[in-house]
Amino acid sequence: MHRTCRSLCWPCGVEVARAAGVGSAALHRHFPSRWSLLQAVLTDRVHALCDRAEELRAVPDPSSR
């Protein structure tokens, strides 16, 4: 559901639930408020960015040659 919410640019909950293939009750059960859904989406994005940063740290800097 996080990914669906991000891709839909923050639509209403019914649209997020429909696009994620779940009912609106399931969406509200997992995320009782818009804030809780937004928090989950942003947390997911920050973790993905941190993971990518770690991957890039392992790559040698081409300007240091």
pLDDT (tens digit, 9 = 90+) per residue, 12-60?
Answer: 667 777 888 888 888 888 888 888 888 988 899 999 999 999 999 998 8
Q: What are phi and psi of 58, to 5 degrees?
A: -80, -15
Residue 16 class from Cβ within 10 Å (0-12 exposed, 13-18 middle, 19+ buried)?
buried
Place of tokens 């969406």: 27
Which amino acid belongs to residue 35?
Answer: W
Is there a contact between 31 and 40 (Cβ–Cβ < 8 Å)? Answer: yes
The whole-angstrom separation of Cα 61 and Cα 17 is 43
Q: What confidence score (pLDDT) does residue 11 get?
A: 59
